[in-house]
Amino acid sequence: MMPTQLTIWHNPRCSKSRQTLALLQDHGHQPSVRLYLTDTPTEAEVIAIRNALGVTADAMMRKGEKRFKELGLATASEA
């Protein structure tokens, strides 16, 4: 069986993202790094990830972010 390519959607300014990348590397993984702020995922990619994780879009949101509040996403539909 061929190994699965591991990709991290990474933000180097985010401490949790840096910690996650370091944890993967510390355990011998060399993931492909996608800087999602400059290489924005498509809607189809986000939906595919959401489906693979088996979570709602809401569960993928950073609810404490200013932009989340500005857009009023707390009451947004799944679509």
59 is catalytic: no
Q: Write a three-state SS string for 28-63.
A: CCCCEEEECCCCCCCHHHHHHHHHHHCCCCHHHCCC
State the Cα–Cα distance between residues 72 and 20, nearest whole angstrom: 29
Q: Which of 6, 14, 22, 53 is catalytic?
A: 14
Active-site annotation, residues? 14
